Structure 1
Amino acid sequence: MLTAMATAAHEPLICIERQVPEPGQGEVLVEITACGICYTDLDLLQGHWPIARFPVVPGHEITGVVAATGPGVSWPEAGTAVGAQFLGDSCRHCDHCVRGEQILCPRKRFTGVAMDGGYAEYAVLKADFVTPLPEGLDPVAAAPLMCAGLTAFNGLRQGGITATSRVAVIGTGGVGALAVRYAAAMGARVAVISRSGRGEAAARRMGAERFIATQDRDPAEALHAWDGGADLILNTTPSTSAAAAAFTGLAPDGTLVLVGYGPEPLILPTQPMVLNRLHVMVNPSGSPHDLRDALAFSAAHGIVPEFTPIGLRDAGAALDAMAEGRAGRRSVIIMG
């Protein structure tokens, strides 16, 4: 099978032929349909994951079909269309795992970082960490939902979104665009915060009622003018300072959720936090039950991302474009 391999940090991907692996105890062999390319894959190659196991096959936005099952696996059966996410394994016995919050397990392992992922024609995955695809959901377009979609959906949910919420989404990239569409579909009022006004028309088509370009206006002041502020601010950009700049635009009892952040520390004013009971949280993607909910919601509301289809041998070039800031829509590797 053709495989794109990361041999070490700061080294380019190499494409090699490998034997199709066999699933072991509790595992399934998945014939890959598609795999989205995520900024986490770029972080892997740039050496930002000290827990990485090299050599490793990157990729965690996986869709495919179960080709074979290992010993002890009664579900999913061969022929089942499934997806797989960043969270690839956990201990299964800690308090977090038994409560269904495997993403918080101290012994969790990540697909495409500590275990082989989806930049290949086949992948061996843990059977209880794959998720069935809802009927009617295109498996190629659905690939980015396994991470970008889950991150956006669960960030909104963990932040306490309701149908009466005013939600401000910072950024209109892959995660941000999906967050706008999810929030609108959940009945919330949506504002988009971006550096320039170039994305305003697209944001309004996705359901935003307000657009704030930070090059023209202070985002916190603009949010306060929006009926007293946002109940939820979701930062989807790799900039901690962008989140800090909008923070005091929260309404009382509002919540800032970081699903994107940068290397700089988050510095926030204490007094407004105290006087208005403001909240801050960071949300890592999600657990298997969260992915099921995100996929079901996406299917029910027809929400899938825009993407650029590429071949497996083009993965390295797509990652280079991301590193150089030349990437446009999310790239999705299509096998075959």
Structure 2
Amino acid sequence: MRAMVLEEIGKPLVMVERPISDPLAGQISLRVEACAVCRTDLHVVDGDLPQPRLPLVPGHEIVGVVEAVGAGVDQARIGRRVGVPWLGHTCGTCFYCRSEAENLCDAPLFTGYTRDGGFATNVVADADYAFDLDPAGDPVALAPLLCAGLIGWRSLKRAGEGRRIGLYGFGAAAHIIAQICTWQEREVYAFTRPGDVTAQRFARELSAVWAGTSDEAPPELLDAAIIFAPVGPLVPRALQAVRKGGRVVCGGIHMSDIPAMPYALIWGERELLSIANLTRQDAREFFEIAARAGVHTRTSVYPLDEANAALDDLRNGRLSGAAVLVP
């Protein structure tokens, strides 16, 4: 198999040849069809997230076909198309796992961070954390749903039932969740980095009722805001944009420091929440909702050996939608 490997933090990935690993008990082996590139991959490669397992194959928005199964896994899964997300394993015994909060597990494994991921031609995953996908679907279009979609969905659930939803950072996650919001008959207000007219135009194409820069105030107070951009100063701006009793949800795994802010921004029973990982229940809900809503993803395709270019384009804001690697 071929894989793009992170050997040293802050250095480009390196293409290597490896033997294909046999699946252990409870595992499946996949031939990768597509793997989307997530901002979390940037946080891993750039060293924002501590102690990744090195050397490491990044990538956690994996679509592939099952080629082999380990002991205890139904042989009928061979030949099926499945998706493998960020949450790759949980202990099942800690307080959080026993409280239906496996996303907060004390001893998890994360795909493309503490175990090898999908920037490769083949990958091994836990069978219980791989989800059956539409066999007739386009693997490139499906790949961004495995994290951008799932984390976006969990963020939207935490945002509540409000009608006016602000999305800060209109990238892979926001362009998926904007479609869900429109299907739910909510209003989307899109906030982009200053000068990014392309992202603003993209948001309007997806039925956003307003699109502007992150330093602008929306024309109406929001019921809730979701921050996908890893930019701490957006937190006080979003709090200022929501009504009393509104919520601001931080949807990323990493964010720069939140600046000091006056208590008045959170007074009025405004809530500030964070999202951590996902649960398998989130996935079961989301894939059904995405199909009913007719979600489509905008993607830019890169061959596997151009993973560094895809990461660099994401890092520098040159993408509209999601980058997807295809072996």
Counterparts of 2:130 and 2:259 in 1: how far apart (Å)?
A: 34
Distance change >3 Å, CA 159–CA 136, structure 1 → 2: farther
- Aligned match of 1:262 in 251, 255, 258? 255
Contact kept, 8 Å, 2:27 with 2:70, in 1: the verdict is yes
Q: Which stretch shows the higher mean deviation, 129-138 or 313-322? A: 129-138
SS in 1 for 2:258: coil
Partner letter of residue 269 of structure 1?
P
2:184 paired residue number: 186
Matches within 5 A, 1:114-125: 114-125=114-125
1:249 paired residue number: 241
Deviations 1:26-48 (A, max 9, x none): 11111111001112222222222
Deviations 1:271-305 (A, max 9, x none): 3433x211110112411111222222212222132
SS in 1 for 2:96: helix
Partner letter of residue 230 of structure 2?
P
Contact kept, 8 Å, 2:89 with 2:108, in 1: the verdict is yes
Counterparts of 1:75 and 1:101 in 2: how far apart (Å)?
A: 29
* Structure 2: runs of 5+ lacking an equivalent: none
Partner letter of residue 70 of structure 1?
G
Contact kept, 8 Å, 1:196 with 1:214, in 2: the verdict is no
Distance change >3 Å, CA 203–CA 264, structure 1 → 2: same
SS in 2 for 1:58: coil
**How far does residue 74 in structure 1 lie from its aligned partner after superposition?**
2.5
Asked if residue 209 in structure 1 is aligned to residue 202 in structure 2, the reply is no
Counterparts of 2:36 and 2:304 in 1: how far apart (Å)?
A: 11
- Aligned match of 1:289 in 281, 287, 300? 281
Scaled by the length of structure 2, what TM-score is found?
0.92
Counterparts of 1:118 and 1:325 in 2: how far apart (Å)?
A: 22
**How far does residue 156 in structure 1 lie from its aligned partner after superposition?**
0.4
Partner letter of residue 247 of structure 2?
T
Distance change >3 Å, CA 214–CA 290, structure 1 → 2: closer
Contact kept, 8 Å, 2:32 with 2:120, in 1: the verdict is yes
Identity percentage over the alignment? 28
Counterparts of 1:293 and 1:333 in 2: how far apart (Å)?
A: 26
Distance change >3 Å, CA 73–CA 187, structure 1 → 2: same
Counterparts of 1:56 and 1:197 in 2: how far apart (Å)?
A: 33
Please report the RMSD computed on the Cα atoms of aligned residues, expressed in angstroms. Answer: 2.0
Deviations 1:151-192 (A, max 9, x none): 1111001221x3x52111112111222222221122212211
Deviations 1:253-285 (A, max 9, x none): 1100011463222544323433x2111101124
**How far does residue 314 in structure 1 lie from its aligned partner after superposition?**
0.9
1:301 paired residue number: 293
2:9 paired residue number: 9
Counterparts of 2:240 and 2:315 in 1: how far apart (Å)?
A: 32
Distance change >3 Å, CA 183–CA 269, structure 1 → 2: farther
Deviations 1:126-172 (A, max 9, x none): 11111111465422211011111111111001221x3x521111121
Distance change >3 Å, CA 197–CA 70, structure 1 → 2: closer
2:156 paired residue number: 156
Partner letter of residue 202 of structure 1?
F
Matches within 5 A, 1:137-148: 137-148=137-148
Counterparts of 1:324 and 1:204 in 2: how far apart (Å)?
A: 22
Distance change >3 Å, CA 329–CA 178, structure 1 → 2: closer
Distance change >3 Å, CA 325–CA 201, structure 1 → 2: closer
Q: Which stretch shows the higher mean deviation, 41-50 or 104-113? A: 41-50
Contact kept, 8 Å, 1:143 with 1:332, in 2: the verdict is yes
Q: Which stretch shows the higher mean deviation, 75-84 or 307-316? A: 75-84
2:326 paired residue number: 334
* Structure 1: runs of 5+ lacking an equivalent: none
Partner letter of residue 183 of structure 1?
C
Distance change >3 Å, CA 120–CA 200, structure 1 → 2: closer
SS in 1 for 2:264: helix
